[in-house]
Amino acid sequence: MTRVSILDGNTFLVSDERGDIEPSFDFPTGLFSFDTRFVSTWILTLDGQRLHPLSIDDSLSYGTRFFLVPGEPTHYLDAKVSVLRSRSIGGSFGEELTVLNHAGQEQEFSLRLDIGADFADVFEIKHQRQKKGRTTPGTRTNELRLVYRRENLHRETVISTSAPGDIDEGGMTFRIRVGPHGEWTTRLQVTTIIYGARGEDIRTTLPLGGHRTAAAIHAEQNELIERAPKLGCDCQPLAGAYRRSLNDLAALRYESIALGVRLLAAGLPWFMTLFGRDSIFTSLQVLPFLPELVPPTILMLAGLQGSRLDDFRDEEPGKILHELRYGETAGFLEQPHSPYYGSADSTALFVILLDEYERWTGDTTLIRQLEHETRAALSWIDTYGDLLGTGYVWYMTRNPETGLQNQCWKDSWNSVSYADGRLPAFPRATCELQGYAYDAKLRGARLARTFWNDPAYADQLEREAAALKERFNRDFWIPEKEYYALALDPEGRHVDALSSNIGHLLWSGIVDESRAAAVARHLLGPRLFSGWGVRTLADDQGRYNPIGYHVGTVWPFDNSFIAWGLMRYGFREEAGRICDAMLSASRYFDGRLPEAFAGYERDLTDYPVQYPTACSPQAWSSGTPLLLLRVMLGLEPQGEHLIIDPALPEGMGRVEVLDIPGRWGRVDALGRSRSPHDGSRGH
Amino acid sequence: MGQATEQFFAALPRRAPAVLRGPTDGTLQIDLTTGNRTEHWYVELAPGSAQVSREQRPAEATFTVGADLFEELADGRESALAAVFRNEATLSGNVLLFLLFRRFFPDPPGTRDPREVAREVVREQAGRSE
């Protein structure tokens, strides 16, 4: 079924192609805000008949227009009446219903809107649970109020109509007369309320801007896009993907319930909240283009840094969070996301982001302000991160009921396996975690030396990094297979599957120079590279499945970091191939790269097959075209300057990015591919 | 006022140098409610120091919670943010200040060092496979 979504930060609405919402317990359709479904039924009928769409205008992220007629599709042409449904979202949700009479005489209609709210938490949809609280409907003149209570938790959905209607507990009915060729309109307003201090909406007692209008969202998105560097290029898919990415990143910004700042939600519909890992990877991707999106994320992650040992939340002092949820299941401890810390990479990635942020922006204030949090993060790597005391970062949840088994980016239960498909015991030490730890130490050393006036600590971190690199190259390398093991099992043996994780090792710089070529060969070889990108798992491994979430699909974000890693080791041609493949794939998704697509061979399907339940837009997929641009143009800050060293894939033609912001002010980067087919080829 | 609450506030000045190491400062008001009665506490947070007072003063943030629930926060059994999410506690004002204060709440009672637990698990697994 086609689904139509609109969003404003973490308030979003998913309906079918008629604009209707039917109660669903397997997919999050409905109106959601702060992890709660405020509308689960929203069905429009005209004289008892469902409507059918003639067309949908969904070009805006925060608004949709549906053109509907009653009856079956074959009767379209004769329609004596049509209905326009025009909706927008901006904190609250508004829908204008217009009935158009196409007949030459007056007609009577009964327009009915069935309305319901189940107040389900996103996790109750994922896991199908019954509500513990009670919903009570209340009717007033032109207003339906649905009230949900569980102990002190109190949420409301209030639906009002501008034109008078008959309000009952299950919806609204409008008995209307419309003159010849005339029209009738009502404006429905849906307000969501989360009660907090002093019986007010929690969002009004905290320093938040509150509800934004659609016009305000429009202005704000435009301003953000206006500030971003301008892209000029011959390659249409690149131009389309860049514009789409900026739009989606603007739409995914939401107001933190706790900070009064704009954070980036991770992905629609399942992940409309703050994730440590996702927000850090996205920040790294967008830094050259939209650096102002980054400090709020850094401040929030620092503010919520782990401070105690808590088994339920997998929390430890110094650890950066995995996931923060605001819903009922987090509040009543049915889920651990208040916040949950089950992530073994976000802590090192936090240090990496801080350093990268300063390199681009020169914002030393933030670096000095967060010295204590950064030190605590570095210290976590060698203390609680090193569960077994072997000099590596390991993970093992202490919350077997609701915690995550795999605490790396591939966090599904079967993502870490031996080549033959067996699953290793816990704790596990995946390879990319060691790469991030290595990079974090080197970057931490730079921060300590340059900003914290602590050269002794800097020296120590550099010594530790060098020792880690040596140890890692000894313990993770599989000589007969010529790649790094996906992980070590608790006995220190190789978990020997061939996976995309080895690409992240290049990004971290932990790979010995002498082994980089072998790693690059594997990444671009037929087992990992599908033609559309690098698969999460090689196609001859025991658990390979081209539509397995982390065991065979292609993830655009993963590929963008692999391309960055290849660039780091000088494999510009190989990096270019990945950029080219990703941009080619993006064309099939209207420029919007999804969370993941299937790992089928390119020759087999001719187009990338979307993963069935992929999130879209997804922040780190939206960030992907931006990082690919960085890689193709070879952008690297060095001191007060920006190095520009373009190496564009064949046929890309001209690429220019104007006004790249940073400590240098603003500079332009220009590149042109060296190929006889310049500009003549679409992708 | 519960014993854990009393001990918690009494220990803040001593614990502050280890907990408050960033540059943030400001006053947090903590309102502990019992029925219709509210006890006000004021904690002035500054780099390396925390001053506790019962005398009214301007505050940048307010945390309101039942005295019984605060007793459980003070001994580590409960979590402040979860309580906010189910509206059993409420927050207003500068939330960063509260997030800083949250670092004073102790581990849940009986929590073991995860490294100790992990090494024990590995020893057991090795024992089973022999």
Q: Where along chain A do its domains lie? A: 3-205, 237-672
Cα of A204 to nearest chain B Cα, Å: 9
On whether any CB of chain B is under 8 Å from the CB of A121, the answer is: no
pLDDT at residue A541 above 80?
Answer: yes
The residue of chain B nearest to residue A328, with distances taken between CA atoms, is B86
The partner residues of B51 in beta bridges, in order of sequence, read B44
Element holding B97 (H helix, E strand): helix B95-101
A332 vs B19, B86, B125: nearest CB: B86
| Rounded Cα distance, A68 and A59, in Å | 17
Q: Which of A195, A330, A425 sits opposite B125 (nearest CB)?
A: A425
What mean pLDDT is predicted for residues A40-49? 96
- Distance of residue B37 Cα from the nearest chain A Cα, in angstroms: 15
Mind listing the pLDDT tens digit for each residue in A183-218? 999 999 999 988 876 677 766 555 444 456 778 778
Of A9-18, A80-89, A111-120, A608-617, the range with the lowest mean pLDDT is A608-617
H/E stretch holding B89: strand B89-93
B8 neighbourhood in chain A, CB within 8 Å: none
Cβ separation A330–B85 shorter than 8 A = yes
**Cβ–Cβ below 8 Å for B115 and A330:** no
Cα–Cα distance measured from residue A566 to residue A563, given in angstroms and rounded to the nearest whole number: 5
Domain count, chain B: 1
- The residue whose two tokens read 């140890």 is A471
Do A195 and B87 make contact, defined as CB atoms within 8 angstroms?
yes
A332 near B CB under 8 A: yes
Token output for A233: 């290029």
Q: How far are the Cα atoms of A439, A503, A648 from residue A510, in angstroms, in the given order?
A: 8, 11, 26
**Of B96, B111, B113, which is closest to A259 when you measure between CB atoms?**
B96
**Are A71 and A79 contacting, i.e. CB atoms less than 8 angstroms apart?**
yes
Q: What does the pLDDT look like over A253-270, one tens digit per residue?
A: 876 555 556 777 777 767
Give the mean pLDDT of chain A: 91
User: What residues of chain A lie within 8 A of the CB of B92, using their CB?
Assistant: 197, 205-206
Give the 3-state secondary structure of residue B29.
strand
Q: CA A253 to CA A267: how far, in whole Å?
A: 11
For the residues B16-26, what does the mean pLDDT come to? 93
The minimal CB distance from A151 to the residues B86, B114, B126 is found for: B86
Query: What architecture is domain A237-672?
Result: Alpha/alpha barrel (1.50)
Round to the nearest angstrom and report the end-to-end CA distance of chain A. 29
pLDDT(A617) > 50: yes
Instruction: Answer whether A327 touches B (CB < 8 Å).
Output: yes
Q: Using CA atoms, how far apart are residues A92 and A78, in angstroms rounded to an integer?
A: 36
> Over pLDDT 70: what percentage of chain B?
99
Q: How confident is the model at residue A663 (pLDDT cuts 50, 70, 90)?
A: very high
What residues of chain A lie within 8 A of the CB of B102, using their CB? 307
Strand partners, B38: B33
CATH number at residue B98: 3.30.1050.10
**Percentage of chain A surpassing pLDDT 70?**
93
Contact B103 A153 (CB under 8 A): no
pLDDT over 80 (residue B36): yes
Mutating which of B87, B120, B128, B130 best tests the A interface, going by the most A Cβ atoms within 10 A?
B87
Residue A327 exposed, middle or buried by CB count within 10 Å (0-12, 13-18, 19+): buried
**Chain B residue with minimal CA distance to A376?**
B21
**Structural domain of B46:** 3-129
Q: How many beta carbons lie within 10 A of that of residue A232, not counting itself?
A: 12
Tell me: pLDDT of A442 over 90. yes
Contact A308 B79 (CB under 8 A): no
Is B108 in contact with A311 (Cβ distance < 8 A)?
yes
Contacts of B110 in chain A (CB under 8 A): none
**What does the DSSP 8-state code read for residue A275?**
E
Which tens digits make up the pLDDT trace of A341-359? 999 999 999 999 999 999 9
Q: For A440-452, what is the mean pLDDT?
A: 98
Give the best-scoring range by mean pLDDT among A18-27, A248-257, A393-402, A597-606.
Answer: A393-402
Side chain identity at residue A219, one-letter code: A
Q: Which CATH number fits domain A3-205: 1.20.120.420, 1.20.1740.10, 2.70.98.40, 3.40.50.2000?
A: 2.70.98.40
Which of A586, A585, A564 lies closest to A575, judged by CA? Answer: A564
pLDDT at site A682: 39
- Per-residue HEC secondary structure of A68-121 comes to EEECCHHHHHHCCEEEEEEEEEECEEEEEEEEEECCCCCEEEEEEEEEECCCCE
- Using alpha carbons, select from B3, B70, B68, B82 the residue that is nearest to residue B41: B70
Residue A274 has pLDDT above 90, yes or no: no
pLDDT of residue A666: 97
Look at residue A37 in the predicted model and tell me its pLDDT. 93
Q: Closest to A330 (Cβ–Cβ): which among B82, B92, B111?
A: B82
B22, B87, B108 member nearest A154 (Cβ): B87
- Go through chain A and tell me how many residues it has: 683
Q: What share of chain B is helix, strand, coil (3-state, %, to 5)?
A: 45, 25, 30
